[in-house]
Structure 1
Amino acid sequence: MSGMREFLRGFGIVFLAGAGVVGGFLFFPAHLFSGFLNSVGPAIIGLGGGETVPKEKTPAELIAEARERSSKIKGLYMTADVANDPGAGATRLRKNIIRIAEETEVNGIVIDVKEVCGVDYDEKRTRELLAELKQKNIWSIARITVFKDASQVAAHPDWYLARNAPHVVGGECVRKRHLAAKPAGTPAPAVGAALWQDRRGGYWMDPASLDVRNYILDISKRMIDVGFDELQFDYIRFPSDGDVENAMYPVWDSNTPRHEVLKSFFAFLHDNLKQYKPEIMLSVDLFGYVAAQREDLTIGQRLDDIGHLFDYVSFMVYPSHYYSGFSYAADPANNLPAVHYSVAEARMHPDVVVGRSLIAARDYLNVINNPQTIDANDRRSFARLRGAEVASSSSSNYATADVATSAGDSARNQPSIAGARIRPWLEDFFHEDDKAAGRPYGAEKVRMQIDAAEAAEDAGWLLWNAANLYSEGALKKE
């Protein structure tokens, strides 16, 4: 403090010759005063009621700002190839997606940075793209596939599920072998027939492996450093397709429930990434079925374990993906009737599929995040929430009424009370098939899903099209 007094005393002597007195107050010429402020920086917050030097935002302020900015993201998916390829075709698709975001209600873009074939991004081009998105106030989300990853098979075969029966499936990463990590030192032995593969030939890492967890954490931190606003985790589960009974895990012991393994991984990601950058937003992709069947589906995903560890949950409520049918019990609290659809009928009613799934998930998240808000004497809420079914149905009693948009005020715009909010993936694909079958398609189908999602919880939505082509007619102009 004495040093500062000496400095200020010297400052007064040096500049006194250039000062003026007006009305009894001492003033310095602007060029002298600004030079002084530039030299001392933030050491002096304000002098004599003048302008203050801007102070840095606190972590709490940054978190609140990120939550506010991310609260109603309406996004489009962009593949890694389109995001990184400088060629004319990719550039045209990339610019078109950005143009849509500038001209419509869309305000976010989900970009693949790690897919099932491995990490796939060019850092220089990605930084340039993110700078452009930031300048245009477009929210950027890095999509990271987690446990389905073929890139480390040669370098780290011990990270992967093995199999106890000979079986080889054609791989799905033939075109992207350049993403595979090379083994260090002595080449690893051939592992093709030794590792377990799913129906599409994909390889899966052990969710219980600490090496795997650190590998995912390292990639996630790199994406934060590159400049993404949010990280979204997909394939964050145990495998579901293929002869899973023949899969052998190098670390996980089958005595520990799968959901406990994933719950510990969710906490691992949350704690490490929020410490690394408190304001980074975290989201997770879940099967649409999980919105209804909240118990473990053998893949380890449970809503109970997610509510306080992620900022957003993106259910993939694609109406075309309910291959075993779509069924929900009556929901008197929200004035909704029972609904029982075959797979074909589910595609006839995309709004019902999206609306009923998200309403049930929203209400259940409210219960697990805030149990004190539920009347202890009113168990109907739990019974209703546990009564949802998504299973194969032999019944011919299929609902045909449009119940998503006529649900009444009680089911509309009721956000989850705390914890994770719902921002679903909606389908913008299979339009030709739907058109041929006389089902809603194109912009009509997409808008029906959007309206149902916004009626259930107005926290945004994401559109998926693997070809990077979107039904712009479904989007509101801005």
Structure 2
Amino acid sequence: MAIAAGAVLAVVMAALLAGFALGRSAEVAAVDTVPLTLRVTPPEPARSYRAPIVVRGNAVDAVRVSIGPTTVSTGPDGAFEISVPWAPAVEVVAVDAAGNQSSSIVVAGVDLPRMRAVHVTAHAWSHEGLREAVLDLAREGRIDTVQLDIKDEDGVVGYDSQVPLARESGAATAIYDASAALGQLHDMGLQVVGRIVAFRDPTLADWAWHNGRPDWVVQNPSGQPYSSHYGPIAFTNFANPQVRQYNIDLAVEAAQLGFDGVMFDYVRRPDGSLTSMNFAGLTGTPTEAVAAFLAQSRYPIHQAGAHVSAAVYGIASTRPDEIAQNIPLMSRSVDFVAPMIYPSHWGPGEYGVANPNAQPYDIIFRSLQDFVTATAGTGAKVAPWLQDFSLGVTYGDAELRAQIDATRDAGIDSFFLWNAATRYHGGGLQPA
């Protein structure tokens, strides 16, 4: 009986120990699989696409927190701070000692500064007198941004671009030194927006047509280059992947060189009847294809450090298919929409203004209201092109000031001034 009792006791003890071990294992397992708590503070908007995103938060019990390849240790209370290059969204991952992890997606915003800009051609920048006149406007605090041409209406790239197609087609020149220009302007605290005339490109169109690439060129129904008042062979085909990529490559190169922004101009079809032109490879409508080009270009340019804008016709807010510029659609893929609303370009009675050219405040204010409405909810800001040249009516300080006042009264703080000769009325620009 004693032996039997001892055996029973041993069995009971073993069972108790086993149960304790099983319970302890279950308890440890339960603790080891509990996700840690991760709290992330929404980051402040960056000031540019070159500025880093600074992500802060708290991850209790975490041993490390990472965003992509960047990893940091947490403080005693789980606090962390990570600085990473800008991206549209990043994933924050926190891991504890047992390997459990929690994650959170953070959306990054960019709060771009205002722009009070003047247009400068490549040749104007290379001319000391014209260049210094522009720089004097900056020294006096009248402008904070210079728009410097990258590729102009002739398809000429103003600096010695290393983009292969720019070199092969003969577009690359050495009119100005891009690095030196950017260095000088940045040293003065100025922003620089590079303008790329996208699909009006006689240099590339002519080269493509004579080098076995007719599909790169807008054609007429008989299969010849589409001729317009811009010339016998002026427009490239926005539906062609190589044409698109060429413009994107130039924009990315410019951003990498240090341009703060890239503006696409002539990002449209030629004006005229659609029945008189053919776009090889086009699927969908020209309006959809133009917007798709901007969508394709946005992230590569942002990733290279620059913001994106599109110069558009003033009529596009109400007549989107006339030149394939649908403002709500395009606005989803750009940071700025830049409507060219020069008073001299409006007809009598437009927006109820009897003589737009002689009533610059009225036509600017009323047309901008349409663009504010058209871009609402897209994330894009409006930065209009204003007129600083005379065409039918003499324009000076007062006329320029009226347009700027109208822009301000429409709730817009950015603008670009156009004068093809790069000569501006500084008296119409109040010092900041």
TM-score (norm 2): 0.68
Q: Distance in 2 between matches of 1:326 and 1:224?
A: 41
TM-superposed deviation, 1:154: 4.1
Partner SS, residue 202 of structure 2 = coil
Q: Distance in 1 between matches of 2:307 and 2:276?
A: 37
User: Of 75, 100, 106, which residue of structure 1 is paired with 2:143?
Assistant: 106
Structure with the bigger percentage of helix:
1
Superposed CA offset, 1:150-203 (max 9, x none)? 11234322200122459xxxxxxxxxxxxxxxxxxxxxxxxxxx3112113151
Q: Is the 8 A contact 1:72 1:459 kept in 2?
A: yes
Q: 1:363 to 1:161 in 2, by over 3 A?
A: closer
Q: Is the 8 A contact 2:350 2:356 kept in 1?
A: no
Q: Distance in 2 between matches of 1:434 and 1:450?
A: 18
Q: Which amino acid aligns with 1:116?
A: E
Q: Which amino acid aligns with 1:111?
A: L
2:327 pairs with 1:303: yes
Q: Is the 8 A contact 1:231 1:282 kept in 2?
A: yes
TM-superposed deviation, 1:219: 1.0
Q: Distance in 2 between matches of 1:217 and 1:115?
A: 15
Aligned length: 321
Superposed CA offset, 1:252-277 (max 9, x none)? 25xx2221112221211113323x32
Unpaired stretches in structure 1, ≥5 consecutive residues? 1-41, 46-53, 167-193, 329-338, 370-417, 436-440
Q: Is the 8 A contact 2:384 2:415 kept in 1?
A: yes
Superposed CA offset, 1:437-477 (max 9, x none)? xxxx3000000000000111233111000001001110112
2:253 pairs with 1:222: yes
Partner SS, residue 185 of structure 2 = helix
Q: Distance in 2 between matches of 1:113 and 1:457?
A: 30
Q: Which amino acid aligns with 1:426?
A: L
Identity of aligned residues (%): 23
Q: Is the 8 A contact 2:353 2:362 kept in 1?
A: no
TM-superposed deviation, 1:347: 1.0
User: Of 341, 347, 350, which residue of structure 2 is paired with 1:327?
Assistant: 350
Q: Distance in 2 between matches of 1:66 and 1:82?
A: 35
Q: Is the 8 A contact 1:428 1:465 kept in 2?
A: yes
Q: Distance in 2 between matches of 1:112 and 1:65?
A: 30
Q: Which amino acid aligns with 2:201?
A: D
Unpaired stretches in structure 2, ≥5 consecutive residues? 1-69, 74-80, 91-106, 161-175
In structure 1, the partner of 2:181 is 129
Q: Is the 8 A contact 2:312 2:340 kept in 1?
A: yes
Superposed CA offset, 1:324-357 (max 9, x none)? 43433xxxxxxxxxx242xxx1112111110011
Q: Distance in 2 between matches of 1:61 and 1:457?
A: 27
Q: 1:244 to 1:363 in 2, by over 3 A?
A: closer
Q: 1:120 to 1:462 in 2, by over 3 A?
A: same
TM-superposed deviation, 1:127: 0.7
Q: Is the 8 A contact 1:359 1:457 kept in 2?
A: no
In structure 2, the partner of 1:117 is 154
Q: Distance in 2 between matches of 1:419 and 1:357?
A: 19
Q: Which amino acid aligns with 1:449?
A: Q
Superposition RMSD in Å: 3.0
TM-score (norm 1): 0.62
Q: Is the 8 A contact 1:71 1:459 kept in 2?
A: no
In structure 1, the partner of 2:299 is 271
2:314 pairs with 1:288: yes
TM-superposed deviation, 1:99: 1.4
Of the two structures, which has the highest relative contact order with CA contacts closer than 8 Å and spacing of 6 or more? Answer: 1
